[in-house]
Structure 1
Amino acid sequence: MTLMKAAVVPEANAPWELRDVPMPETGPHQVLVKIHASGICYTDSLLARDILSYRPFPLITGHEGVGEVVAVGEGVTSREVGDRVGLPITQKPCGRCAFCRERHAPSFVTANNCVAPVLTGVNVDGAQAEYIAADADGTILLPDGISYEFAAPTVCAGYTVWAALRRADAKPGARVAVLGIGGVGHLGVQFAKAAGYHVIAITHSPEKHDLARELGADDVVSDGAGLKAAGGADVLLHTAPTHAPAIDALQGLRPWGKIVLMGISADDGFPLPALTLTSHSYQVIGSAHNGPEYLTEALKIVARGDVKPMIEVFPKEKVGDAYQKLLDGELRFRAVVQY
């Protein structure tokens, strides 16, 4: 039996441990990927703390893995040895249920409506490991010119915010506000700027105001009143970990504006002011990756240098430290582990 190194979560709320585990074998329609870099997402911490539970511990998480195909299984025609690929969270739908018979593109919507999806790092082993075997159609080709370290956070965080911006379908020259300058929000500012919008960053942290401008924000405000005073926004990208700032920011949303929710908040309730929504014809949009074409677009934008993820890189031997920094809120802004 061949062994490899992997970051193992032995039990709920336990530190991550680098262990020797069996290397996966490549089955039909699968590829074996040598992982070069893997990002740590906030969702990984929810799994590691058993807040989200899909299978028993021990776990190998990781849905921001990128690397090189080193073997292909029987029946694989879309990938070759040497391909550079990313491994987003929705690896494979079941293909049999009523939802799958409608032939939807893989996305979080598929993950939540297919009766038996394969979800990388969620209900099967993930990419916090030296190797992973995955369905070939659950990988995405990386463009030339993008480093593994920049590609890793783009596979989830960048994908999330770019898909949300595309789903907002804002008109050219629109005013886009990004709420929260963190792991997703710092990418949101850059993607919105790269798309040619007037960008307003909303952050209650004074120490992030200069950073937001460096990332491309045209205006930086602290709250909804500040957003209104700055001229308001046509689109509000809600990337903050709590909902109260988003409700406050509605006072700066312009008539017929759109608020786009993404990710998972610590507080699930979202108390919308009905009169405000009705009076201004606001739209509230949920966004969940929305299809692999948006990940392809996001990767190309990063590859050409218009967006640069802010990352902290860790060797695999320090994966436990990387996870702890995420829990402690000390990352600026994404942890990437090299394998």
Structure 2
Amino acid sequence: MTTQMKAVVVAKENATWELQDRDRPEAGPHQVLVRVRACGICGTDVWMARGTLSFQEFPMVLGHEGVGEVVAVGDGVTERKIGDRVGVPMVQKNCGACDFCREQHPNSFVTAANCAAPTLTGVNVDGAHAEYLVADVSGTVLLPDAVTYEQAAPTLCAGYTVWAAIRRADPRPGGRIAVVGVGGLGHLAIQYAKAAGFHVTAVTRTPDKQDLARQLGADVVVADGAALKAAGGADLLMHTSSSHAAVTDAMAGLRPWAKVVMMGIAEDELTLPSLPLVSNSYQIVGSAHNGLEYLVEALDFVARGQVEPVVEVFDKERIAEAYDRVNSGAVRFKAVVRY
């Protein structure tokens, strides 16, 4: 096996993403070496490349939506074997020693935020925008045979996020779900909500996304909270937008005892309408990756053909173009890079 590989390196804040030669990593104890076949570009990658979020020093190899085959296993690995098709999501493992870890929580974004020293793919260790990646075996998930690498990559973060949010919010069977924003998260939220049997309303002010939302399965498409209310309202509002203001506006269409589940990250301030919040007993719920069991479920929806990530696929030599399209908001809806 070659000792070199190609990896995408972000040299400094706002730098062009460049394909460079790097030493291929080796699998240590309890680790697997994955030959990466595809990796998606997430909004979190963009925020880190811009310096808006900072978890490690530049230069960085980003990417937490990596999928491929196991090509080597380290000492003590029994859960995976060479040839397994796997995904490596962001949270690989916790430190196991801090006060938070001693409480024995499942690995999730809460682990990432509260563990003293978590291992986070493409965040504080090298990520999957490379030909090879090492990962703790506990931070891998088997891919269904029916799911292609191009489908699996965006499911590892965007699909995982929205499905875990629906599960965490626990809407009543047959309830009404509204999705604010039709983008990388939103286009999948519409599909998962519809596949799970809910009435789905898409909330978007972008005219060319309205027909797309209907094609993705939305029963109704509206532009704002007033129109959402007129269309029957929502029991669950899914925040997948890059605008907190859009979500606050959409809350005008909530039904009594509704929930707002927060997934989208935005730079504007979130201002909540206090009187309606109190008067209607609304609940605001934070959610991201809530345990690997929900990722397994999210992948199964894709395997059954009930959810189809909409992707633009780029060869690794076009990485700079792929990043630029994501950074500018031009990509529909997820960029996936082949390695």
- TM-score scaled by length of structure 1: 0.99
Give the whole-Å Cα distance in 2 for the aligned partners of 1:160 and 1:224: 24
Q: Which residue of the partner structure matches residue 289 of structure 1?
A: 289
Contact 2:92 2:135 in 1 (8 A): yes
Contact 1:38 1:62 in 2 (8 A): yes
Q: Which residue of the partner structure matches residue 310 of structure 1?
A: 310
Contact 2:241 2:265 in 1 (8 A): no
Deviation at 1:263, TM superposition (A): 3.6
Q: Which residue of the partner structure matches residue 200 of structure 2?
A: 199
Q: Which consecutive segments of 4 or more residues in structure 1 shift more than 6 A?
A: none
Pair 1:272-2:291 in alignment: no
Instruction: Give aligned pairs, total.
Output: 338
Q: Which residue of the partner structure matches residue 258 of structure 1?
A: 259
Contact 1:85 1:140 in 2 (8 A): yes
Contact 1:261 1:287 in 2 (8 A): yes
- What are the within-5 Å matches in structure 2 for residues 206-245 of structure 1? 206-245=207-246
Give the whole-Å Cα distance in 2 for the aligned partners of 1:232 and 1:327: 33
Deviation at 1:51, TM superposition (A): 1.2
Q: Which residue of the partner structure matches residue 319 of structure 1?
A: 319
Pair 1:5-2:11 in alignment: no
Q: Which residue of the partner structure matches residue 328 of structure 1?
A: 328
Deviation at 1:311, TM superposition (A): 0.1
Contact 1:263 1:288 in 2 (8 A): no
Q: Which residue of the partner structure matches residue 128 of structure 2?
A: 127
Q: Which residue of the partner structure matches residue 31 of structure 2?
A: 30
Deviation at 1:52, TM superposition (A): 1.0
Q: Which amino acid aligns with 1:118?
A: T
Give the whole-Å Cα distance in 2 for the aligned partners of 1:21 and 1:47: 21
Give the whole-Å Cα distance in 2 for the aligned partners of 1:273 and 1:35: 46
Deviation at 1:50, TM superposition (A): 1.3
- TM-score scaled by length of structure 2: 0.99
Q: Which residue of the partner structure matches residue 144 of structure 1?
A: 145
Q: Which residue of the partner structure matches residue 163 of structure 2?
A: 162
What secondary structure does 1:323 align onto?
Answer: helix
What secondary structure does 2:135 align onto?
Answer: strand
Q: Which amino acid aligns with 1:278?
A: V
Give the whole-Å Cα distance in 1 for the aligned partners of 2:321 and 2:259: 39
Two-structure CA RMSD over aligned residues (Å): 0.8
Give the whole-Å Cα distance in 1 for the aligned partners of 2:214 and 2:264: 24
Q: Report the identity percentage.
A: 64
Q: Which residue of the partner structure matches residue 178 of structure 2?
A: 177
Q: Which amino acid aligns with 2:169?
A: A
Q: Which amino acid aligns with 1:200?
A: T
Deviation at 1:77, TM superposition (A): 0.8
Deviation at 1:171, TM superposition (A): 0.8
What secondary structure does 1:302 align onto?
Answer: helix
Contact 1:160 1:263 in 2 (8 A): no
Contact 2:10 2:16 in 1 (8 A): yes
Q: Which residue of the partner structure matches residue 84 of structure 1?
A: 85
Q: Which residue of the partner structure matches residue 69 of structure 2?
A: 68
Give the whole-Å Cα distance in 2 for the aligned partners of 1:273 and 1:205: 24
Give the whole-Å Cα distance in 2 for the aligned partners of 1:88 and 1:266: 24
Q: Which residue of the partner structure matches residue 102 of structure 2?
A: 101
Give the whole-Å Cα distance in 1 for the aligned partners of 2:181 and 2:15: 28
Q: Which residue of the partner structure matches residue 154 of structure 2?
A: 153
Deviations 1:121-169 (A, max 9, x none): 0000000000001100011111120000000000000000000011110
Q: Which amino acid aligns with 1:272?
A: L
Q: Which runs of 5+ in 1 are unaligned?
A: none
Contact 2:241 2:264 in 1 (8 A): no
What secondary structure does 1:69 align onto?
Answer: strand
Give the whole-Å Cα distance in 1 for the aligned partners of 2:229 and 2:15: 44
Pair 1:55-2:26 in alignment: no
Give the whole-Å Cα distance in 2 for the aligned partners of 1:264 and 1:273: 19
Give the whole-Å Cα distance in 1 for the aligned partners of 2:69 and 2:279: 52
Give the whole-Å Cα distance in 2 for the aligned partners of 1:78 and 1:110: 22
Give the whole-Å Cα distance in 2 for the aligned partners of 1:15 and 1:209: 33
Deviation at 1:270, TM superposition (A): 1.5
Give the whole-Å Cα distance in 2 for the aligned partners of 1:53 and 1:256: 37
Deviation at 1:273, TM superposition (A): 1.4
Q: Which residue of the partner structure matches residue 248 of structure 1?
A: 249
Deviation at 1:266, TM superposition (A): 2.1
Give the whole-Å Cα distance in 1 for the aligned partners of 2:265 and 2:97: 28
Deviations 1:229-276 (A, max 9, x none): 100000000100010011111110000000000142222x32111111
Deviation at 1:288, TM superposition (A): 1.9
What secondary structure does 2:318 align onto?
Answer: helix
What secondary structure does 1:281 align onto?
Answer: coil
